[in-house]
Amino acid sequence: MPTRRRAPALVPPLPAVQVARGTVADALPDGAEALLLPVTAGSDGVEPREGAVEAAVRYRIDLGDLAERSGATGAAGDVAAIVLPRGHGDVALPWTDLPHRLGLVGVGDGTATSLRRAGAAVARATRGWGTVVTSVASGSAPEVQQAFAEGYLLGAYRHPSRAARPSPGPAESLVLLGGDADAVRRAEVVARAAWTARVLAVTPSNTKTPAWLADRATELAEAAGLEVEVLDERALAAQGFGGLLAVGGGSATPPRLVRVTYRPASSGRPAHVVLVGKGITYDTGGLSLKQRQAMVPMKTDMTGAAVALATVLGAAEAGVSHEVTALLALAENAVGGASYRPGDVLTVRGGTTVEVSNTDAEGRLVLADALVHADLTLDPDVLVDVATLTGAATTALGRTHAALFSPDDDLADGLAAAGERAGERLWRMPLVADYRPAIDSAIADVHHVAGAGFTGAGAITAALFLQGFVGHRRWAHLDVAGPARASAAAHEVPEGATGFGTRALLAWLSGEV
């Protein structure tokens, strides 16, 4: 395992999740403020699950009455809690030994998805509380317990705030009765990676320049004992990174390319996975200027780079058996005297010439440079790029699914299955060969957007463009433009930057790639 140093304070520590032996029929941990019991919806109302019946017997609780008074439904992600009255003077009530808050947590059908939602709901319902004890995941399979802990940790996340009075934080501690410590540890690895991607994505762009992001990536990589290399604008020019230099040319802060590599300690030759992330630290659209309202969320246009970085850090912490490299293509697409123009012809890494028609389609240009660089210098067995690339993907799939493109059936199936397990759904889209002429150019090797006479299929033509820069590598493209940003919090996903892709990629890297 890599030698680790003290991690920088960019990402706050996760809330405490502890595992305790015993059941709710035993004495609860000292200082417990709340006891949460699992229930599900039955034909005759709410039905108890693991531990709830034992608690009802031990503490003489009428679960039916409790469900009715608290409004519990048993649906996955429903939490209903009441505050128990205390006795007065010498009068002792049957629940004297109980914490003063008692709640019912809906677990739905008991699957990993339902328990992940239950965990997130518990996190939101218990903000500002002390020690919370629960049997919600007791007796479940390890992957289900991991999902519950993941949901809790992901739901407990709050975007960094510079307000004088931030909202209440998570409960002081969550105690899982009969929990699996290894499952909790795996959940912490995944949640820490997702938190990292989210924090980086929401950092305001007056702070988050390409150089700033390269510095933070370096700090995080070095703290994890990983190899890191940063190419500045002079090195990029010397090696022919025409896409990054053009996109970043209008900004006062020049572009960067960052490489972070994790090498497992296992013997033999592990598979080498290279993750390429689009890192546009702010996107005005360049000279093809966006409307004001479309610019507002553009501090998150580097989500792909944040996800790639967070994934390699998570892979190192989990000790996956594959070698993993993250390539972060970082630039600010600003407006200035040196901005690149519609009508320009660029020469990207490797010598391909590209006709530019829309400077707001900048992501595919920086990805082209990074993909060629990976192919020429890193010898990847598998190449995966992650990007908030097209509005077309959002139009097609909305905010809950990312578009997945790959000519490799096994790779596409593996990624989609991993996304399903992790709670980040990937929908495979076609690489339509008949659409390839849309990006032909009369004055360059390729046109970076569909030319005149072609309409629609914007996510597909963007993927076809990228495919031309991967050589003969096994390759997949994740267009996360929709789910990388959420208009409202839902389950384990916060409003705003979601870090989408981190969990799916870590789940995929945990098995065969």
Q: Residues 124, 263, 290, 425: which is the catalytic one?
A: 290
Which of 367, 376, 280 shows the shortest CA–CA distance to 327? Answer: 367
Helices 63-70, 52-59: axis angle to 10 degrees equals 110
Active-site residue 364, yes or no? yes
At residue 364, the 3 state secondary structure works out as: helix
Does the annotation count 290 as an active-site position?
yes
SS3 of the chain: helix, strand, coil, percent, to 5: 35, 20, 45
CA distance 406 to 387: 14
DSSP state of 206: T
Which residue in 360, 362, 333, 331 sits closest to 346, CA to CA? Answer: 362
Would you say 211 and 37 are in contact if contact means Cβ atoms under 8 Å apart?
no
Q: What span, in angstroms and rounded, lies between the C-alpha atoms of 389 and 188? A: 29
- 37 membership: H or E segment, kind and range: strand 32-42
Which residue in 116, 278, 299, 364 is the catalytic one?
A: 364
Strands (E), 45-194: 45-48, 79-83, 101-106, 131-134, 173-177
Q: Which amino acid is at 359?
A: T
Residue pair 338/255 in contact (Cβ under 8 Å)? The answer is: no
- Considering Cα of 27, then 31, then 33, then 39, what sign does the dihedral take? negative
Active site residues: 290, 364
